[in-house]
Structure 1
Amino acid sequence: MKKILALTNGMALIITIAVNYLSNTGALNGNTMKTVSDQYFNYFTPAGYAFSIWGLIYVGLIGFVFYTGRSAFKKDDSDPILLKIGWWFEVSGRVLDETDKPLPGATVKVKGKNISAVTDKNGRFFISGAAVNDSI
């Protein structure tokens, strides 16, 4: 599982960088971010240095991918940070009564974990932190 996560992180980073590059060069729909921005008037135009944060974000992402990749392929499984990383899912749904009417205030819990949510007035719930094989 750790190897799959590490490979998925690497592929996601490559795809993110590729899409970002393509959107900045105009390869997608013939527009760059500048041409799209110039089409719409606004009162707030950030300074050029405001976009330099993306360099820091990509350095962090690359570091994260290398860290998880290095740790995932070691024989020692004791890396506590990597053991806490998993697939991120948000489970959502709707709870209805026997007449198909929403059931507000119902508690929905992930089986065997301390993760739960309460349905809203429309019977909808959202649970973050559930794993692939969890049951509710």
Structure 2
Amino acid sequence: MVIGRNKLYDVIILPTISTREIIMHKDTARQLANILSVIVALTINILANALPLNGQNTGEISNRFDVFFVPAGYVFAIWGVIYIGWIAFVIYQAQPAQKESPRLRNLGYLFALSCVFNAVWLFCWHYNLFGLSVLVMLALLSLLIASYLKLNVGQTPVSNIEKWSVDVPFSIYLGWITVAVVANISDYLYFINWNGFGIAPQLWAVIMLVIASLLGLTMTLTRRDSGYAFVLAWAFAGIAQKQADTALVANSAWVATVFVLVMAIYSLVQRRRLPGWY
């Protein structure tokens, strides 16, 4: 009987323990991957302008393109907020209590991959591979959208600390990359001398502002995501200021700014009325 029970233990219990250990190792690997990817991405972002890469700063390259969907220089300070969000997220997800979090398990390695593509984009941009930079930026946007959906941001009630460590950082990052994709594509089209199908560049900028504003509307109505909308407002206001000499673009950008700000405030009010939400 003793031998039989030991055999039963070996057959049933040991594989169960082994499976759990494998899962725990995967959780640890995911946590470490997120930490390392942020360290690498932050290092490359700093060195890109400190060295700088290929002898040119990120902003210097951007200034070569005479496009209308580019905000004033101060707007890019939002990267500081994004970096803080990265750090907050990796610290939060590295906590022992979050090791087995279903949300973070569902996210998987998407965030780590987004950091890799962020770093790759810098090399493409600094070495004047503008066509490739667009593809990399689109891949980055796709990863962030997938991350956003995997985390179910805006539709899952969370604690305040999880809101500020997970939901808000991803909302801000996704909002900014949404703007950056449009700007990146605009730069590339200018680089290849695209004629815009005969449509004036100023009108294309207005069209892009309308599309981006509708995205902000969608996010606030379906996800009550004020963070995403506030980022769009920040970018639109910067576009309005930079393009102050072009009335059509500047006025359209100011209208878009007010529109998404109203939607952001509306989403904040609506969210606070829901029981169990922050």
How would you bin the TM-score normalised by the shorter chain? 0.5 to 0.7
Counterparts of 1:54 and 1:37, CA distance in 2: 15
Measured after TM superposition, the shift of residue 68 of structure 1 is 1.2
Verify: 1:61 aligned to 2:86, yes or no: yes
Question: What's the secondary structure of 1:42's corresponding residue?
Answer: coil
Map of 1:82 onto structure 2:
104
Q: How many residues align?
A: 88
Q: Does the 8 Å contact 2:30/2:108 carry over to 1?
A: yes
Measured after TM superposition, the shift of residue 42 of structure 1 is 2.9
Verify: 1:46 aligned to 2:71, yes or no: yes
Counterparts of 1:22 and 1:77, CA distance in 2: 32
Q: Which has the higher strand share?
A: 1
Question: What's the secondary structure of 1:39's corresponding residue?
Answer: coil
TM-score in terms of structure 1 length: 0.52
- Write the letter of the residue equivalent to 1:80: P
Question: Cα 1:43–1:5, aligned 2, differ >3 Å: closer, same or farther?
Answer: same
Q: Does the 8 Å contact 2:31/2:90 carry over to 1?
A: yes
Counterparts of 1:45 and 1:67, CA distance in 2: 33
5 Å-filtered alignment, 1:1-136, equals 1-71=26-96, 78-88=100-110
Counterparts of 1:26 and 1:77, CA distance in 2: 37
Give CA-to-partner distance per residue, 1:69-113, whole Å, 9 cap, x none.
113xx5x86533333331349xxxxxxxxxxxxxxxxxxxxxxxx
Question: Cα 1:63–1:36, aligned 2, differ >3 Å: closer, same or farther?
Answer: same
Counterparts of 2:108 and 2:28, CA distance in 1: 11
Unaligned runs of 5+ in 2: 1-25, 114-145, 148-278
Q: Does the 8 Å contact 2:31/2:99 carry over to 1?
A: no
Identity %: 33
Q: Which has the higher helix share?
A: 2
Counterparts of 2:100 and 2:68, CA distance in 1: 52
TM-score in terms of structure 2 length: 0.28
- Write the letter of the residue equivalent to 1:83: R
Unaligned runs of 5+ in 1: 90-127, 130-136
Question: What's the secondary structure of 2:55's corresponding residue?
Answer: coil
Question: What's the secondary structure of 1:29's corresponding residue?
Answer: helix
Counterparts of 1:83 and 1:38, CA distance in 2: 41
Question: Cα 1:62–1:37, aligned 2, differ >3 Å: closer, same or farther?
Answer: same
The 10-residue stretch of structure 1 (4-13 or 16-25) with the greater mean CA deviation from structure 2: 16-25
Give CA-to-partner distance per residue, 1:19-51, whole Å, 9 cap, x none.
111212243111101321233333454123311
- Write the letter of the residue equivalent to 1:9: N
Counterparts of 2:31 and 2:42, CA distance in 1: 17
Counterparts of 1:24 and 1:86, CA distance in 2: 31
